[in-house]
Amino acid sequence: MAKLAKDCKTMSEVRAGVDEVDRQLVQLMAKRQTYMAAAARIKQSREKVYDKARIDEVLAKVGQAAQKSGLSEVLAENVWKVLIKQSIDYEFEQWDKIRKE
């Protein structure tokens, strides 16, 4: 287990911490992706895949969570916009794949 950031004294320690967090993020993103696949399976219409109201809701929730946790809201919003775009692209791919089978 990596040291807490406040306890790091070398760049090697910092990098070990970043690597650990990256591994955790990958696991969480993989879990999130399973929900995108489920959404593609459940949504009956391809037009329902892109949902502007839901995007706005997610970004608002992320902004609030970022503020509470001390994460830069600008960073969080920018990362989530990319994550949402890629998630929608994945959901479209899954939607099409399911309906072709």
**50 vs 29: CA distance, rounded Å:** 19
Whether the predicted pLDDT of 101 surpasses 90: no
CB contact set of 36 (below 8 Å; sequence gap of 6+): 87, 90, 91, 94
> Are 94 and 36 a contacting pair, CB within 8 Å?
yes
User: Which pair of tokens denotes residue 50?
Assistant: 């892109």
% pLDDT > 70, the chain: 100
Tens digit of each residue's pLDDT (9 = 90 or more) over 26-70: 999 999 999 999 999 999 999 999 999 999 999 999 999 999 999
Domain layout of the chain by residue ranges: 5-100
- The fold for domain 5-100 equals Chorismate Mutase Domain, subunit A (1.20.59)
- What is the pTM for the complete model shown? 0.91
What is the structure's pLDDT at 68? 98
Position 79 pLDDT exceeds 90 = yes
Tell me what pLDDT residue 95 has. 98
Mean pLDDT of 69-86: 98
CA dist 69 and 87 (Å) reads 24
pLDDT of residue 94: 98
